[in-house]
Every structure is written in structure tokens, then in C-alpha cells.
Structure 1
Amino acid sequence: MQSGFDLPLTPLTLEKSSLMRRIAIIPARGGSKRILRKNIRPFHGRPIITYPIDAALSAELFDAVIVSTDDEEIAEIARSEGAEVPFLRTPDTSDDYTPVAHAVVECLDCYTTDDSKVDAVCTIFATAALVNANQLRAAEALLREGVDSTMCVAPFSYPIQRALHVQEGILELREPDKLWGRSQDMDTYYRDTGHFYWSRPAALRDERRLTAGRTAPFYLREDQFQDIDTVSDWILAELKYKALQSDD
């Protein structure tokens, strides 16, 4: 399986088949509760959404890079960066409870006509500032191997077999028989990094999930992604970005 661990820093050569039509969709609501205006908050001096837009455009994979938003300011920034904003998202897909996949399907349905069939959709989160073009290309190659979707994942740093939960005020082990076992003998479990996802449109529409159907993993290191929910997460993301730029 491909991974993002050791991808070359120079642009990859990718044969762009005339039979393959790909679009990138970057969901970016205006409302955010924990970090206000998170999707356009300055990240190393630029609105954070400009980083995934630039990565998608640099990949030279997509027939269109589309930002799905309900916010005029986000739309203006996205267009200035070279993305398309063909419509403003409806209230039904802009609240705090509707899964992001519904907004992606709404955008896909708006873009797709009888004359513009889409073969693959890449959903990139607006705060995925650490994404790069080579990762997008390598993960797309997995999709062409016959799966329905790909997801960026990273291993848990600690064996989840030894996880604890609290039952009526008392700690209980998830798997008591694994408490004293060797960690190297335990299965490795992975978590979704919230970076980007490739999907087949049919599976995406049928299941209304970004990881619809048979999903292949695209592996990332801990320093290659950062989920951003708090200001502390934001600071950590900026540190990781700076470190990755230094490595380049």
C-alpha cells in the first residue's frame, strides 16, 4: 500500500487519462464554535483554507477544485486563490449536525451534468494545512487499483487493547487478557486523520459517507497531519508545518 511517509519532494509524473474526470471538494462552513472563523483564520500569515486549495491545484489532477461554503467571505478568499465556488451551500447542509458527506454530495450533484460525469471525488478538509500535492496523487493511485474510497490513517500511539473505560466509577480494561501481553504481539489499529478522502461518486451517493464501500488506507506519520479543534491544536499544526518546511 502507498503511504505518505517517504513520498518524493519533486513533482510526480501522472498520466492524466482523458477518460478519468476528478474533482476536489473542500467543505468550509462559516460557522465554527470552538475556534471562530477557523476555516479562514491566519495560519503562518495566510488564511488556512488557502493551503489545501494550493495543494489541490498543484497536484494537476483535478478538472475542478471547488469550495463548498455558506459564507461570502470564505467564497471570496477561495476564488482569489483559484478555486471555484459555483453556489453557496444550503442551510440544510450548513448546520452543526449534518454530516460533511451530505454537503459533498450536494456539491457533486450541482457540478455533475450529463455532459460532465465525475469518476472520482477528493474531499479535503479546509484546515488540512499540511496536505501536499504528492500525497493527493499517491492516494488517488490507490483508488485506481479498484477500491471505492481511500482514507488517510495513522496508527494509535498506544495499544488500544489496553484502553480503559469507567463503569460506575470503577476503571475497567477494554481487553483484560491483553494487560500483560507484549505490545509488539498485538494488532495495530489506526485512526482517521481527518486529512483528505478519495471516493467513487456512486458509493458516496449511495452511502452518504466519505469512506463508502471498500476503503483502502493511505498511511501518514504523526507529523504529517493535525486535527484542529482547539487553539492548542492550532499551535501544534503551525509547529508541524514549520518543521515539514524545514525538512524540505
Structure 2
Amino acid sequence: MAARERNGVLAIIPARSGSKSVPHKNIRPFRGKPLIAHSIEQGLAAHNVDRVLVSTDSADYARVARDHGAEAPFLRPADIAQDLSTDLEVFLHALKWLEQEENYRPELCLHLRPTYPLRDVADIEGAVAMLLERPDVDSVRSVTLAPHTPYKMWRLDEASGLLRPLLESDIPDAHNVARQALPPVYLQNAAIDVVRAEVLLNARSMTGSRILPYRMSEIHDIDTEFDFAAAAWNASGALPSGKTFVFSLSALVADGTEDKLGTSTPNPATIAVVNRLHSLGNTVLVSTTRDPGSDAAAEAAQRLDQWGVKYHRIVGGKPRADFHVDDAMIPLFALQRWLDHNT
């Protein structure tokens, strides 16, 4: 048997077809091309990446990948293309296939998730170079400063019913210490991971134990409809404008029900978001379970006016819109957080 080819940096882009939160999100159009195409093009553009391979269970996804320049030499088995399938299973399968079929094993594996379309090629090159320069390190993982410190987080002890600190720390009463005095904590942002092939194969780990941070400033991973919208708006550098948002009438009421509207109190957090979207030039609709032409709907309109809600009209059912703001589509807290972040 010929000696195994053992060199280079292999980018692997996992792209299964069974997304539940956003169906077929990996090939959904984003800025004029399938979402996965952005990661493929970034991998191909990086000067220190030798191959870009897509691991998918879908022939359609494989065709899209090849159309944009990636290799897609196999279809991933269904048993490692499930909701709970791990990245490690995907990478080990790809490495085994390449070794058996091509007698090839890379030195480094670069993990590019197709759900992070806004990464810079320079960051890919920087993370790869970092691991190439440090033979004593197992992997490099992109991180950003965590927005909330885990020193002030708790877990519930089910047996006693008491709160326990999430982190065991040598800082006395860390949960009562000023946030500014606590150590900085980093959150993995899903943009770029680089790991030695030997670590994957021998330690059966995506990172190993010696991990270098590649510091980044943002997170743009796409997992929900809201994430798609936020990434698109971040890409254009603009807040949402010219879109249609639908809020349920119950979301504008403090107790979450429209049954007793006459005695209900307003939900100021929701109303603030509605008014902000209205001021940005979006169409805001309020949906109700009542007949829009009924006296009850007229009462609702009167209450909304009293509460200072800026909207365009009350509608019945679930009308066509760009976004429905509810737990099934865009959670209110996420929309509010995004608007505040871009103020």
C-alpha cells in the first residue's frame, strides 16, 4: 500500500438537510446566494486552506456545494445526520472516508459552520496560522466576550430546592461582587474552529485539552428566523425598515390575554418595541382573535390608542407578513435585544 498522504488543512462544512427551526436553512438564499455558499467561498479564499469539503446527507445540498466550488464526494449516512448527531461523528466519518478512498489525512481540520455566513477570510487565516505556529496546542476556537458573567448564574439543586453557584470559584461570594471586578469570561461564537486531525482520531475530541482562543467581537450564528433577519440587517448595516411585523393583541397586554381588555393594563416592553419598529418605517399590524369589524375590535383600537401604541391596523387571523413576533417565530425578547444592540 502506498504511503498515506499526510498534509494540508482540510475545511469541513457540515450541512445536514433536516433543520427543524428553519427548514433547509443551509441552502436558503442569503444575500443573493445559498447560505452554505458563503462558508464555501470563505474557505476557498483562505490562502492557508488546501481543501474545502461539505459533509451532507442530501444529494441536492451536495450539488449546491459543488456548484460553488466545494468537494462533496460522499453522502453522510442518515444515522449521523440526526438532530442529536455530533460534530465529532461527522468529522470522523469524513476522515475515515478520505483515508480509505484517497489515502489522505490532513494535518489540521477547519470547522466552518454554514450557519455563520458573515465571518472574514482574514479570521480564518489567522486561526489556522495560530495552530500551525503552536505544535504544542491541540486546537484553536473562536470566542467572544460573554455578554453575561456565569459568576452570577445559578443552578437549582433538585434534592434540596436550593440555589447553588454555577461556578465553583476561589473568589469569595463571587455572585455579590461587582461585575467589573470579576474575571472576563469568553463564549464560543461558532465562527471558526481548527483542530489537529490526530486529536480527532486519537483523543476522540473536537478540541483536545490544550485550546487557544481566537478572539472575535461578534456572534452571527444563524439558528432561527430571527437570526436570519438579524444577520441580514447586520450585513446591510441597517436597522429593519420597510418590513411588515405582526404582533398579537395579547402580547400588548400585561397579563397576556385579550379576554378582559377593558380592565387590562398595557405591556410597556412590547409597546416600546412596536413603537420603535413603527418609527423605523415598518408596517405594524396587530392581530386579534376577534372579528376586526366587531365592537370588541373597536374597543381594542380604543385601548391601543390610550396606551400610545403606534400601529397601522388591526387584523384577524394570521395575515401575510415578513415576521410574526411570537414564541414560534421571533421571540419578543430577542427582537428587543437586537434593536437595543443596534441603537
Q: Decide: shared fold, TM above 0.5.
A: yes
- CA distance in structure 2 between the partners assigned to 1:232 and 1:180 by the alignment: 34
Which amino acid letter does the alignment assign opposite residue 182 of structure 1? A
CA contact (8 A) 1:203 1:213 kept: no
1:115–1:100 CA distance, 2 compared to 1 (3 A):
closer
CA contact (8 A) 2:48 2:128 kept: no
Report matched runs for 1:120-199 at 5 Å: 120-144=108-132, 145-146=134-135, 147-166=137-156, 172=163, 174=165, 177-199=173-195
Which whole-Å deviations, capped at 9, do the CAs of 1:160-219 have from their partners, x for residues lacking one? 211244567978462781243222221111111112210101111223332123111111
- CA distance in structure 2 between the partners assigned to 1:159 and 1:90 by the alignment: 39
- Counterpart check, 1:117 vs 2:105: yes
Alignment length (residue pairs): 225
2:223 to 220, 229, 233: 229
- Counterpart check, 1:239 vs 2:233: yes
CA contact (8 A) 1:52 1:132 kept: no
1:29 to 16, 22, 42: 16
- CA distance in structure 1 between the partners assigned to 2:162 and 2:45 by the alignment: 49
Aligned to 2:42: 55
Unaligned runs of 5+ in 1: 1-18
Q: Which structure's relative contact order is higher, taking Cα pairs within 8 Å and 6+ residues apart?
A: 1
- Counterpart check, 1:77 vs 2:64: yes
- CA distance in structure 2 between the partners assigned to 1:242 and 1:211 by the alignment: 34
CA contact (8 A) 2:153 2:175 kept: no
How far off its partner does 1:43 sit?
1.1
Which amino acid letter does the alignment assign opposite residue 141 of structure 2? M
- CA distance in structure 2 between the partners assigned to 1:179 and 1:150 by the alignment: 30
Unaligned runs of 5+ in 2: 1-5, 239-343
- CA distance in structure 1 between the partners assigned to 2:194 and 2:70 by the alignment: 18
Aligned residue for 2:22, secondary structure, equals: coil
How far off its partner does 1:238 sit?
1.6
CA contact (8 A) 2:7 2:105 kept: no
CA contact (8 A) 2:98 2:105 kept: no
Aligned residue for 2:104, secondary structure, equals: coil
Q: What is the aligned-residue identity percentage? A: 30
The answer to which of 169-178 and 28-37 deviates more is: 169-178
The answer to which of 63-72 and 158-167 deviates more is: 158-167
Aligned to 2:53: 66
Report matched runs for 1:90-105 at 5 Å: 90-105=77-92
Which amino acid letter does the alignment assign opposite residue 241 of structure 1? A
After superposition, the CA RMSD in angstroms is 2.4
TM-score of the superposed pair, with normalisation by structure 2: 0.61
Aligned to 1:87: 74
Aligned residue for 1:141, secondary structure, equals: helix
Moved over 6 A (4+): 168-171
Which whole-Å deviations, capped at 9, do the CAs of 1:127-166 have from their partners, x for residues lacking one? 1101221111100111121211111111111222112445
- CA distance in structure 1 between the partners assigned to 2:117 and 2:205 by the alignment: 23
Which amino acid letter does the alignment assign opposite residue 127 of structure 1? T
Aligned to 2:94: 107
Report matched runs for 1:212-227 at 5 Å: 212-222=208-218, 225-227=219-221
Which amino acid letter does the alignment assign opposite residue 138 of structure 2? D
